[in-house]
Amino acid sequence: MIEVEINGQKHQLEVAPDMPLLWVLRDVLGLTGTKYGCGQALCGACTVHLDERVVRACVTPVSRAASKRVTTIEGLSAKGDHPLQKAWVELGVPQCGFCQSGQIMTAAALLKKKPRPTEAEIDQSMAGNLCRCGTYTRIRAAIKQASEEGR
Amino acid sequence: MIGHVTRRGLLSGLGFGLGAWTLGLDLKASPKRTTATVDADFDPNVFIHVAADNTIQLVCHRSEMGQGIRSTWVYLFADEMDAAVDTITLVQADGDEAYGDQNTDGSSSIRRRYVELRRFAATARRALVEAAAQQWRVRPDALTVKDSTVSHGPTRRRATFGELAAAAAKAKLPPAARVKLKAKKDLRYIGKRFPMADAPLFTVGKAQYAADVRLDGMLVAVIARPPVVGAKLTSVDDAAAKKIPGVKQIVRMPTPSAPYAFKPWGGVAVLADNTWAAMRGRAALKLTWSASPNDDYDSKAYKQSMAAAVQKPGDVRRNKGDAEAALEQAASTVERDYYVPHLLHTPMEPPAATARVVDGGLEVWACTQNPQTATTSAAKAAGVKPEDVVVHVTFLGGAFGRKSKGDFVAEAAFLAKATGQPVRVQWTREDDVRHDYFNAVSMQRFTAGLNESGEVTAWRHRTAFPPIASTFSAGADTPSARDLQQGVLDLALAVPHVRAEAVSAKAHARIGWLRSVYNIFHGFGVGSFIDELATEKKQDPRDTWLELIGPAREMSLADLGIEGLSNYGASLKDHPVDAGRLRAVIERVTAEAKWSQKRGRALGLAAHRSFLAYVAAVVSVKKVGGKVAVDEVWVTIDAGTVVNPDRARAQMEGSVIFGMNLALHGGVDFAQGRPVQSNFHDLKLLRIGDAPRKIHVTLVESARPPSGVGEPGVPPVAPALANAYFALEGKRLRDLPFGRAFGI
């Protein structure tokens, strides 16, 4: 039995301790906003927060989340109104949308640590999140907009 | 009610929960039956349903894969109907022939349907207006419509669409002569910026993709497929796999025979109660495979054989004047070869499909670009009739052509039937890379003859690539005229002697279409060669482009040296090969990029016509540290009438990244019959830091019929990038990928 707090709710999980957090979220708990893209921590589609840290859920055994707080895209804000989510909608960032949960979760952690990141810091922090549709220039613009709103 | 089609909360910003996906399933669902149900409701056609409660259900029969078609759909219909946007619920269509073609492919959703869709909406509007006119005994032309309300100014009478629906439903639909499309000045949304309908869903993780479908008792299948096309399973040791906790069943897949088309790939499926267990189970399988005729497929050797092949004449497909004689007589000749490897799709969402048996038929959920061929593929694999299969379309997490193939849907259908349980087939990233329908590998040879004053008098283009036809007709090795329209036959040239030849090439992998398809390598070859001719001529490349294209004119078939042009299914009257439009995008993009102020900058230019659109790109590169970085990119597209300018811009931005990806990182290489790469460690994709600092997009204002948008931005990017590199370093890059030269 592993106890994990996910989006503010405690769960007692009867799963193998080495099961990746991604599959606990998706297959056990039905939280499908966190995506599978590569299974090797190469694409960032499965990015979630473990306490304040960004982790790739596809390579994070659920045991590592024991007694920690997990935040997924579903728990980032109550009404989908995090400054990043608002900026993403206003600037029309998503194309297919599939990678955007991970993009937003990485960006949220960045803004928490650095409320006003430079372009270089944005590029560096977001380097682990692939987007095949090519929304990178709008992602940069949206992070900047959200960071300014947060001032 | 439309209980049995998948509805998505659209403007409310809410996604439907899992329940909505599994409720009210009716295998006999057809769009005709899903709409005309309640007498008080009005269903002028299969796309529009006006309910008595003044809501509108609008059916979108195109798949959403990032191009924003669902937003375009809502605002296009709302505009022509004068409907209130917030009363519209968008319904994603199941696969059904009643909608006509549903293949979301060929950049065709708008270009093939623009007028037709507007007429559907205008007919609905007119019918509602006539219903009001009859009730109020006034002339229809005396009525105005705004936000789903019909009004008569003089008497101040008003009625909503919902209030008029019953009367409109009883009356005959107005004939075409009484239905007029809005004048451009009256359009409210078309051609203007409007919101992206699904963006709120995407930012909260509520958009439903194929892998997000959950059914009671569902098993997840991960499949071990033959490593080489044509290899057959010879032995299975599944003892270790069966011991993995969560693994429930192990099923042998049917062995396909050529032509492979959209058949399941064969191999062994491991079914488990969660994805992780299925993946582990597959890893524990011990399988042996037979030899295959494709075991020796090796990209290096194949490239050499293609390079040898293009040295000899091929089958002449375009012929104007006498290029051979002109080359003999030329004062000088320039000859160059260009290579493009197998490129691949790698959408961020790997393929996935879920199927279950219902009443002897099948219900399927899939991220498919083409629910109709998915239906037939599923039916064939499961041994049921197509009319007993219903395919629901989820959001597509990228597609780029991959998901118009029904193979992964057929796998799910086969397993659902074989096990009697709901099954989701989940492709891993490794599966996606190794078992793609790859874009054709290509070699081209260009030869130009120049006279003493440096004018190009002869142009010969030889192209060799294994055609997509090989996937559907075993052994097919020669491109069709339809293949060669993509940048060979439709290239506007003001050169007296032009000849294009097709050189045959055998396929050793499944070949398929990838965003802009053969235009990728033809655009790269033409765009690079023109730049090389500029160097030979000691001319500004822009001037060489304009000189070779020649004056503004519509090219006749005789000018082109061909007998016919499939022209992406469009008539040459509506969409001629227009040298003037190609010139204009070059002139515009070079103006935007301040091309004439080149000193101290490294700029590259290329242009290409595809999917009836004209696109030119300028790329600016510079040295940063030891690397070559792409600083800015300018793209100008003439796509005729543009309905959704913001998404058209987004498609151009995405095309720049897509084009940079294939240019810098390429695709897969084969060794011993199988792809060498497997995941994003050895198959690199551009990351945010590699993206240009800025992408400037210009949409040419035009009242011409719409052309494609999703694909045409891709072809000019790779040659513009190679040409920019030449401007910086003085070295030519003729083989893709060339990321190494850029230091990435």
Please write the tens of the pLDDT for every residue from B217-246: 999 999 999 999 999 999 999 999 999 999
Asked if B245's CB is within 8 angstroms of A94's CB, the reply is no
pLDDT for B40 equals: 86
pLDDT (average), residues B355-369? 96
A98 in the same domain as A37: no
pLDDT (average), residues B559-570? 97
Q: In the block, which residue shows the tokens 């005959």?
A: B172
Proportion of chain B above pLDDT 90, given as a percent: 94
| CB neighbour list of residue B132: distance below 8 Å, 6 or more residues apart | B140, B143, B150, B152, B157, B159, B164, B167
Distance between CA B80 and CA B162 in Å, rounded?
17
- Give me the residue from B208, B398, B650 closest to A132, CB to CB: B398
pLDDT for B149 equals: 98
Could you read off the pLDDT of A108-141 as tens digits, one per residue? Answer: 999 999 999 999 999 999 999 999 999 999 999 9
Nearest to B238 by CA among B275, B276, B281: B281
| DSSP 8-state code for residue B344 | -
Distance between CA B355 and CA B335 in Å, rounded?
54
pLDDT for B38 equals: 65
Structural domains counted in chain A: 2
Distance between CA B217 and CA B219 in Å, rounded?
7
ipTM: 0.98
Could you read off the pLDDT of B142-159 as tens digits, one per residue? Answer: 999 999 999 999 999 999
Burial tier of B170 (Cβ tally within 10 Å: 0-12, 13-18, 19+): exposed
Cα angle B259, B712, B320; round to 5: 80
A88 in the same domain as A52: no
Domain boundary among A57, A75, A93: A75
Could you read off the pLDDT of A1-47 as tens digits, one per residue? Answer: 899 999 999 999 999 999 999 999 999 999 999 999 999 999 999 99
Task: Report the gap between the CA of A11 and the closest CA in chain B (Å).
Answer: 18
Domain range for A57: 2-75
A59 in the same domain as A11: yes
| DSSP 8-state code for residue B140 | G
Domain boundary among A13, A45, A75: A75
A108 in the same domain as A48: no
Predicted model pTM: 0.95
Tokens of B138: 């006034």
Q: Is the pLDDT of residue B20 over 90?
A: no
pLDDT (average), residues B340-352? 98
Instruction: Tell me which of B35 and B549 has the higher pLDDT.
Output: B549
pLDDT for B360 equals: 87
A101 in the same domain as A44: no
**Full set of structural domains in chain B with CATH:** 18-204 (3.30.365.10), 210-292+351-426 (3.30.365.10), 299-343+437-742 (3.30.365.10)
Q: How many CB atoms sit inside 10 A of residue B292's CB?
A: 18
Question: In this structure, what CATH number is given to the domain that contains residue A138?
Answer: 1.10.150.120
CA atoms within 13 A on the CB side of B454: 10
Q: How many CB atoms sit inside 10 A of residue A41's CB?
A: 17
A46 in the same domain as A97: no
A87 in the same domain as A71: no
Chain B residues with CB under 8 Å of A80 CB are 13, 200, 203-204
Q: Mutation target for A interface from B220, B248, B276, B428: give the one with most A CBs within 10 A.
A: B276
Instruction: Check if the beta carbon of residue B709 is closer than 8 Å to that of residue B642.
Output: yes
Nearest to B723 by CA among B470, B543, B535: B535
Q: How confident is the model at residue B9 (pLDDT cuts 50, 70, 90)?
A: very low
Chain B residues with CB under 8 Å of A40 CB are 429, 679-681
Could you read off the pLDDT of B300-344 as tens digits, one per residue? Answer: 999 999 999 999 999 999 999 999 999 999 999 999 999 999 999
- Give me the residue from A20, A74, A84 closest to B205, CB to CB: A74
Look at the alpha carbons of B309, B509, B347, B31 in this order and tell me if their dihedral is positive or negative.
Answer: positive
Instruction: Check if the beta carbon of residue B636 is closer than 8 Å to that of residue B700.
Output: yes
pLDDT for A75 equals: 98
Q: Mutation target for A interface from B16, B193, B196, B203: give the one with most A CBs within 10 A.
A: B203
Domain boundary among A30, A48, A75: A75
pLDDT (average), residues B277-291? 98
Chain A residues with CB under 8 Å of B212 CB are 26, 32
Could you read off the pLDDT of B154-213 as tens digits, one per residue? Answer: 999 999 999 999 999 999 999 999 999 999 999 999 999 999 989 999 999 999 999 999
Single-letter residue type at B93: A
Secondary structure class of B423 (helix, strand, coil): strand
> What b/e sequence results for B516-540 when a residue is b if at least 16 CB atoms lie within 10 Å of its CB, and e otherwise?
bbbbbbbbbbbbbbbbbbbeebeee
Task: Report the gap between the CA of A5 and the closest CA in chain B (Å).
Answer: 19
Q: How confident is the model at residue B19 (pLDDT cuts 50, 70, 90)?
A: very low
Could you read off the pLDDT of B443-453 as tens digits, one per residue? Answer: 999 999 999 99
Q: Is the pLDDT of residue B23 over 60?
A: no
A99 in the same domain as A53: no
Task: Report the gap between the CA of A42 and the closest CA in chain B (Å).
Answer: 6
Q: What value does the mean pLDDT of chain B take?
A: 94
Question: In this structure, what CATH number is given to the domain that contains residue A32?
Answer: 3.10.20.30
A29 in the same domain as A89: no
* Helices of type H across A10-67: 21-23
Strand partners, A53: A50
- Give me the residue from A72, A96, A128 closest to B398, CB to CB: A96
- Give me the residue from A39, A89, A122 closest to B429, CB to CB: A39
Tokens of B123: 């007919």
| CB neighbour list of residue B111: distance below 8 Å, 6 or more residues apart | B570, B611, B612, B640, B705, B706, B707, B708
Inform me whether the C-beta atom of residue A81 falls under 8 Å from chain B C-beta atoms.
no
Chain A residues with CB under 8 Å of B220 CB are 27
pLDDT for A149 equals: 61
| CB neighbour list of residue B470: distance below 8 Å, 6 or more residues apart | B259, B476, B477, B506, B507, B511
- Residue in chain A closest to B196 (alpha carbons) equals A92
Q: Is the pLDDT of residue B34 over 90?
A: no
Single-letter residue type at A68: K
- Give me the residue from B209, B211, B346 closest to A132, CB to CB: B346
A residues 52-71 lying closer than 8 A (beta carbon) to B: none
Could you read off the pLDDT of B476-517 as tens digits, one per residue? Answer: 999 999 999 999 999 999 999 999 999 999 999 999 999 999
A62 in the same domain as A88: no
Instruction: Check if the beta carbon of residue B145 is closer than 8 Å to that of residue B129.
Output: yes
pLDDT (average), residues A49-71? 97
pLDDT (average), residues B568-574? 97
Instruction: Check if the beta carbon of residue B602 is closer than 8 Å to that of residue B620.
Output: yes
Tokens of B235: 């032995």
Q: Is the pLDDT of residue B7 over 50?
A: no
Asked if B349's CB is within 8 angstroms of A35's CB, the reply is yes
Distance between CA B733 and CA B743 in Å, rounded?
14
A63 in the same domain as A15: yes
Q: Is the pLDDT of residue B699 over 50?
A: yes
pLDDT (average), residues B603-613? 98
CA atoms within 13 A on the CB side of B452: 0
Q: How confident is the model at residue B77 (pLDDT cuts 50, 70, 90)?
A: very high
A70 in the same domain as A35: yes
Single-letter residue type at A136: Y
Asked if B655's CB is within 8 angstroms of A96's CB, the reply is no
Chain A residues with CB under 8 Å of B201 CB are 97
Q: How many CB atoms sit inside 10 A of residue B158's CB?
A: 14
Task: Report the gap between the CA of A67 and the closest CA in chain B (Å).
Answer: 22
